Amino acid sequence: MVDTAQSEAPSGVLAVVRVNHDLVSVEALLKTCYWFSRDFVCGVSHSEPGQSTVELKPKPTCLTSPQDAKEQFIAQAMDFALRERITAKTSDVRDLLLAKAFSESGVLEETPQGVFGDMVEEENPSGMFKILSNG
Amino acid sequence: MRLTTSGSARNIGDAIIGRLTTQDLPRDLRRDHVRLVPKGGPLPGEVAGYRAVLSHNDFPTDAPVIDRLRESDHFRDGDVVVLEGANGFVRSLYRPYEQHHSLFVTERCSSNCLMCSQPPKDKDDVEMLTRRNQELIRLMSPAPEYLTITGGEPTLLGDHLFGLIEQLRTSLPDTELHMLTNGRTFAWPDYTRQFAAVGHPNICLGIPLYSDNAGDHDYIVQAVGAFDQTVAGLHQAARNGIRTEIRVVLHALTIPRLTRLVEYIYRNLSFVEHVALMGLEYIGYTPRNIDALWLDPFDYQQELEKAVEYLAMRNMTVSIYNHQLCVMKPSLWPFARKSISDWKNLYLPECERCSALEDCGGLFKWAVKKHSAHIHTL
Amino acid sequence: MARSFYPLEKFAPHPQHVSLLPFQFTRLNGEELLVNEAGEFLFAPDGTVRALAEGRVGATSELYKDLKAKHILYDDTSSPLLDVLATKIRTKCDHINGGTKLHIFVVTLRCEHSCHYCQVSRQTATKGEFDMSHETADRAISLMFDSPSPHVTLELQGGEPLLAFDMIQYIIARAKEQAAIRDKGLSIVVTTNLACATDEMLGYLRDEQVKVSTSLDGPAFLHNTNRPRPGNDSYERAIDGIERARAIVGYNNVAALMTTTSASLDHVEAIIDEYVRRDFHAIFLRPISPYGFAIKTKGRTGYEMERFLEFYKQGLAHILNINRSGYRLAEVYSQILLQKILTPNGTGYVDLQSPAGEAWNVLVYNYNGDVFASDESRMLAEMQDWTFRLGNVHKDSRRSLFTSEAALSMFEASCNQSLAGCSDCAFQSYCGADPIYHHATQGDMYGHRPTSGFCTRNMAVIKHLFSFIREDDPETMGIFWSWLTNSPLPAKRAVCA
């Protein structure tokens, strides 16, 4: 669970967010901090194994309220975690797509599936589709 | 207009093709001709040198003949006809004075569309029809401006198709070809390369696509894998420099996702030179499946307008075929074409006094059985 | 034997296995915007991405079909058509094809203007010292045609290039000669303030089929404030030059670009109205580049990105109204982005490409033979920052230019697919990478996205355009498409019951 604590925050710190790495990885957390670094100084510490604590300290440019900052941080972190899941499921096919997109030789071209003939064609031992199809 | 008649055939064998003449030609000009004896006309004295004779009355002869013809008022000099020995049929294959011309190459098909206007037959007619078409092409005079190669599925001819296109390229070099195909065979790169290698300078493939997703398209064409092959086929064709257009038949199964389909065409198939949106023909399989297919064109004008605007705004060429003007939104009239072949069209009583009669394509003659409830005089 | 018909289930069975294809996403106004690897987008209800990650999108829903058609998911009932998707990705990157297409020749640094934002030395020296020599021009032309592209564009710049008119004549003659020998297409454009353009010069440009690109910053008070010259008549001379150039070189061969300064920011409608008054049909609302003297004279021309975005939004609204009234006026920056968002194509605009267009698509040959990756990097050199000088025409070949330290380090930071902040961005396909901008403004080629002006600007403009796309007002979209297809504005539809 990602939760937040507010009351015991040291002075100057706008918000504190506790992050459980079962839900949001360190990578996703750091990406969130990257985007928040425009308006905040993000202090990340490991409170316990599998957990981190983020202290968001506002910069002079910051116009966000404490509640908004926490909500936005959590929402963004969850989105980065979601992106990681998508990437994990798609990185292989993405590599294949890019290889196909930029291949010059046509070596990576797929052969079509299925048959294109009719019953007459299927019954013909030297029929066109036997020659052309991939089985 | 009538396409077929019949009579009593003798001395013919399989089939004879020839160009009709009602005139007595000098001997040395008879070679390609079939002598037609018009109703009530005098019987010719001798018919040596003609390919065959057609006659209303009995015509005893040793020459190939079909007499006791049922009808002949649809014949004109110059028409190319085929006389079938087995059944006495006389089919008109080519009429020079018409606007639309077809080369029918097979009844076989690898799809089985729910709304097919020419339901396929699983009988191998390729050899027979190819011989017939080779002769027909020889006799097509004057050369037509456009010729549609159709079936069934023309690519099932294999090499014979390449042969016919080659023959068209050399004997009718100025004739523009339009080939109606489901495009599936073109998914095989080797096939497409061979097709492109025939090198006809003026051919366009008319390929149907009915949905932006495989399940719906495959159901409509009744063939598993058809969508994937058709889209891949379109791409291979484009890669090999073969011109393509997409045809969509508008009915209850294609209208719901029509706007998605045109978006799919724009993003994936923008190389096509034309998109044809076509009205449903109440013929072939359509009557059997009419409950699943019927949607009064009047009731889908919104979707049609959105789809047409989508494509037109993006500079894609789009036409509407087989719709009556009174049933369409006026904004769509500029896209409507008079597309119904001469032998298929008909006008209803409401049409006689309609101000838009000249511009309207009318209806299919079988539309007397099923047409929009909203046909009215403009 | 008659064939049977089969029901839908035979052709659309329930999938056993659903897979995802790569996509990005962001949240806009309570919805999710998904963008696939080829830059095709889809608006979906909040929660769709999570449902996709968890395999919970119902296979019979219209949304599922939409996601399939948009190459975001696929299943075992049909092909993912990877070759089709790969072809679309390739089409989007078409700008890489052919190598460098734009070759900018700085024929002289001399100029009689002293524009506040000028990224070039204000030299009013005599001829010779800051002019391109014949030898340099010959070498640069040779390098230009070494580019693999079958067609190149030669852009003559300065300073004020017409001050070195005989050099222009030399270069054009030599370039045409070489184009014929090397069998390449050649387009030529001259970027000039037209202040010293005589009718003879314009006649020459017409005869040589050279296009003219000039500056028009807005109405007189603004243009002259931005662009001081002796006599303070830059505007009058520009208008006079435009009229004569249109008459002599041809109406379609004269284009105008504006430069935005902090003085401009309060006058967007006046600037646009000036373009309409002068019968122009394209205007480019671009932010001032933070290079060269602009950084030094920040007091005069410095401004915040926020102010620019207000300027842009207000300007676009005004431009759309002008279009609605029947006068076709395209806003070029929006058009470039709309092309990337709405069409299957990428862009030839160097500043919004990934891999970045610098060096790949544009090379700048300075008067002294130094070769730079872009106009901006030449401006950095004016301030003694040589980071992006690739070499010199007198000692380098195309190969050594492209394998120089400067080039290689820049290329590493040129693909936004692999830059921090960009690699997860939904707008990655629409945006670009600009290592030179980031080096100049942040001291780091890779850039820091959250504080990057390039990022802030593009994200805001892209979001703004998506709001129009989502709204899908037919009139507005009709106007955008008339820009994109270079067609007339759509005829007004009669309002009827």
pLDDT, mean of residues C362-379: 94
For residue C47, give its domain range. Answer: 17-92
CA–CA gap between residue C483 and residue C463 (Å, rounded): 19
Task: Pick C90's closest partner by Cβ from A31, A82, A102.
Answer: A102
Mutation site, A31, A86, A116, interface C, largest C CB count within 10 A:
A86
Q: Which residues of A40-62 are buried (b: 16+ CB within 10 A; e: fewer)?
A: bbbeeeeeeeeebbbbbbbeeeb
The helix/strand/coil state of A134 is coil
pLDDT on residue C296: 46
**How do the pLDDT tens digits run along chain B, 378 residues long?**
788 999 999 999 999 999 999 999 999 999 999 999 988 888 888 889 999 999 988 998 999 999 999 998 899 999 999 999 999 999 999 999 988 899 999 999 999 999 999 999 999 999 999 999 999 999 998 999 999 999 999 999 999 999 999 999 999 999 999 999 999 999 999 999 999 999 999 999 999 999 999 999 999 999 999 999 999 999 999 999 999 999 999 999 999 999 999 999 999 999 999 999 999 989 999 999 999 999 999 999 999 999 999 999 999 999 999 998 888 999 999 999 977 665 556 777 777 778 877 778 777 767 767 788 888 878
Return the percentage of chain A with pLDDT > 90, whole number.
50
Same-domain pairing of C306 and C287? yes
CATH classification at residue C277: 3.20.20.70
**H/E stretch holding C211:** strand C210-215
Same-domain pairing of C315 and C291? yes
Residue at which a domain ends, from C41, C62, C92: C92
Give residue-wise pLDDT tens across range C441-496.
Answer: 889 999 999 989 899 999 999 999 999 999 999 999 999 999 999 999 987 654 33
The answer to whether residue A55 is domain-embedded is: yes
Q: Are C103 and C144 in contact (CB under 8 A)?
A: yes
Q: Which two tokens stand for residue B23?
A: 């005139």
Question: Beta strand C362-365 with C23-28: parallel, antiparallel or unpaired?
Answer: unpaired
C481 contacts chain B (CB < 8 A): yes
The answer to whether residue C84 is domain-embedded is: yes
Same-domain pairing of C147 and C283? yes
**H/E stretch holding C149:** none
CA–CA gap between residue C115 and residue C122 (Å, rounded): 9
**H/E stretch holding C312:** helix C305-324
A110 and C82 within 8 Å at the Cβ level: the answer is yes
Same-domain pairing of C219 and C145? yes
Asked whether the predicted pLDDT for residue A5 surpasses 90, the reply is no
- DSSP per-residue codes, C9-39: HHHSPPPS-EEE--EEEEEETTEEEEEETTS
C183 contacts chain B (CB < 8 A): no
Q: Which residues of C150-179 are buried (b: 16+ CB within 10 A; e: fewer)?
A: eebbbbbbbbbbbbbbebbebbbebbbebb
Same-domain pairing of C228 and C109? yes
Q: Which two tokens stand for residue C61?
A: 């829903």
CA–CA gap between residue A16 and residue A8 (Å, rounded): 9
C344 contacts chain B (CB < 8 A): yes
From chain C, the residues in CB contact with B268 under 8 A are 84, 88
Task: Pick B229's closest partner by Cβ from A116, A121, A127.
Answer: A116
Identity of residue B72 = S
Same-domain pairing of C107 and C78? no
Nearest Cα of chain A lies from the Cα of B201 at a distance, in angstroms, of 25
Quote the crossing angle between the two packed helices A26-36 and A66-102, to the nearest 10°: 110
Q: Which residues of B42-79 are buried (b: 16+ CB within 10 A; e: fewer)?
A: eebeebeebbbbbbbeebebebbbbbebeebeebeebb
From chain A, the residues in CB contact with C19 under 8 A are 89, 93
ipTM: 0.92
**H/E stretch holding B185:** none
What are the residue ranges of helices labelled H in chain B?
126-139, 159-171, 189-197, 214-221, 226-239, 258-268, 290-293, 301-313, 349-352
Residue at which a domain ends, from C371, C402, C433: C402
From chain C, the residues in CB contact with A89 under 8 A are 19-20, 53
The answer to whether residue C76 is domain-embedded is: yes
Q: Give the confidence band of C157 by pLDDT, cuts at 50, 70, 90.
A: very high
**Quick one: how far is CA C84 from the chain centroid?**
27
Q: Report the sign of the C-alpha dihedral through residues C348, C350, C354, C358, in that order.
A: positive
Whether the ω angle into residue A43 lies within 30 degrees of 0, i.e. cis, is: no
The answer to whether residue A109 is domain-embedded is: no
**Closest chain A residue to B229, measured at CA:** A112
Same-domain pairing of C134 and C66? no
Same-domain pairing of C181 and C318? yes
Give residue-wise pLDDT tens across range B188-234.
Answer: 999 999 999 999 999 999 999 999 999 999 999 999 999 999 999 99
Residues 6+ positions from B281 with CB-CB distance below 8 Å: B115, B117, B322, B364, B366
Identity of residue B243 = R
Q: Are B1 and B56 in contact (CB under 8 A)?
A: no
Give residue-wise pLDDT tens across range C177-235.
Answer: 999 999 999 999 999 999 999 999 999 999 999 999 999 999 999 999 988 888 889 99
Can you name the residues that pair with C255 across neighbouring β-strands?
C213
The answer to whether residue A104 is domain-embedded is: no
CA–CA gap between residue C349 and residue C337 (Å, rounded): 10
Q: Give the confidence band of A133 by pLDDT, cuts at 50, 70, 90.
A: low
Q: Which residue has the tokens 């000249």?
A: B358
pLDDT on residue B123: 92
Q: Which residue has the tokens 């959590």?
A: A74
Chains near C with 3+ CB pairs less than 8 A apart are A, B
CA–CA gap between residue C393 and residue C372 (Å, rounded): 10
The dihedral region occupied by B374, where left means phi > 0, alpha psi between -120 and 50, and beta the remainder, is: alpha
Task: Pick A93's closest partner by Cβ from C22, C448, C451.
Answer: C22
CA–CA gap between residue B54 and residue B37 (Å, rounded): 6
Domain count, chain A: 1
The answer to whether residue A68 is domain-embedded is: yes
CA–CA gap between residue C348 and residue C432 (Å, rounded): 12
Q: Are B279 and B318 in contact (CB under 8 A)?
A: no
For residue A73, give its domain range. Answer: 2-90
Asked whether the predicted pLDDT for residue C55 surpasses 90, the reply is yes
Angle (CA) B110-B112-B117 rounded to 5° is 115
Identity of residue C431 = C
The answer to whether residue A79 is domain-embedded is: yes
pLDDT, mean of residues C382-397: 94
Task: Pick C83's closest partner by Cβ from B213, B232, B270.
Answer: B232
Q: Which residue has the tokens 């037919």?
A: C474
From chain C, the residues in CB contact with B213 under 8 A are 65, 68-69, 78
Q: Which residues of C104-119 are buried (b: 16+ CB within 10 A; e: fewer)?
A: bbbbbbbbbbebbbbb
Same-domain pairing of C274 and C392? yes
The dihedral region occupied by C359, where left means phi > 0, alpha psi between -120 and 50, and beta the remainder, is: left
Edge-first strand order for the sheet with A51-58 is A3-5, A15-20, A51-58, A40-48
Same-domain pairing of C139 and C285? yes
Task: Pick C78's closest partner by Cβ from B114, B228, B260.
Answer: B228
The answer to whether residue C349 is domain-embedded is: yes
Give residue-wise pLDDT tens across range C83-135.
Answer: 999 999 999 998 988 889 999 999 999 988 888 777 665 566 677 788 999 99
The helix/strand/coil state of B94 is strand
C86 and A82 within 8 Å at the Cβ level: the answer is no
Mutation site, C9, C11, C63, C90, interface B, largest B CB count within 10 A:
C11
Same-domain pairing of C85 and C118? no
- What Rg do the C-alpha atoms of chain A give, in angstroms? 27
Instruction: Find the range with the poorest average confidence among C130-134, C288-292, C374-378, C465-469.
Output: C288-292
Asked whether the predicted pLDDT for residue C367 surpasses 60, the reply is yes
A35 and C49 within 8 Å at the Cβ level: the answer is no
A112 and B124 within 8 Å at the Cβ level: the answer is no
**Closest chain B residue to C88, measured at CA:** B268
Q: Are C438 and C452 in contact (CB under 8 A)?
A: yes
Edge-first strand order for the sheet with C41-45 is C23-28, C31-36, C41-45
The answer to whether residue C278 is domain-embedded is: yes
User: What letter does residue B225 receive in the DSSP assignment?
Assistant: T
Mean pLDDT of chain B: 92
Q: Which two tokens stand for residue B188?
A: 């095989």
- DSSP per-residue codes, B298-359: GGGHHHHHHHHHHHHHTT--EEEES--GGGS-GGGGGGB---S-TTTEE--HHHHT-TTTTT
A116 and B155 within 8 Å at the Cβ level: the answer is yes
Asked whether the predicted pLDDT for residue C72 surpasses 70, the reply is yes
Can you name the residues that pair with C26 across neighbouring β-strands?
C33
Checking C95-98 for CB contacts under 8 A at 24+ apart, the result is: C95/C346, C95/C347, C95/C348, C95/C353, C95/C357, C95/C360, C95/C361, C96/C355, C96/C360, C98/C147, C98/C148, C98/C149, C98/C150, C98/C151
From chain C, the residues in CB contact with B120 under 8 A are 3
Mutation site, B219, B228, B265, B317, interface C, largest C CB count within 10 A:
B219
**Closest chain A residue to B160, measured at CA:** A128
C3 and B224 within 8 Å at the Cβ level: the answer is no
Q: Are C403 and C12 in contact (CB under 8 A)?
A: no
CA–CA gap between residue A118 and residue B151 (Å, rounded): 13
Residues 6+ positions from B121 with CB-CB distance below 8 Å: B107, B108
Chains near A with 3+ CB pairs less than 8 A apart are B, C
CA dist A1 → A51, A70, A76, C131, C149 (Å): 10, 14, 15, 68, 56
B228 and C88 within 8 Å at the Cβ level: the answer is no
Domain count, chain C: 2
The helix/strand/coil state of B165 is helix
Residues 6+ positions from B45 with CB-CB distance below 8 Å: none
Give residue-wise pLDDT tens across range C348-360.
Answer: 998 899 999 998 8
Residue at which a domain ends, from C69, C92, C115: C92
CATH classification at residue A11: 3.30.70
pLDDT on residue A12: 63
Whether the ω angle into residue B142 lies within 30 degrees of 0, i.e. cis, is: yes
**What separation, in Å, do the N-terminal and C-terminal C-alpha atoms of chain A show?**
52
**Phi, psi of C204, rounded to the nearest 5 degrees:** -60, -45
Q: Give the confidence band of A130 by pLDDT, cuts at 50, 70, 90.
A: low
Same-domain pairing of C127 and C165? yes
Can you name the residues that pair with A52 across neighbouring β-strands?
A19
**H/E stretch holding A51:** strand A51-58
Angle (CA) C328-C333-C336 rounded to 5° is 90
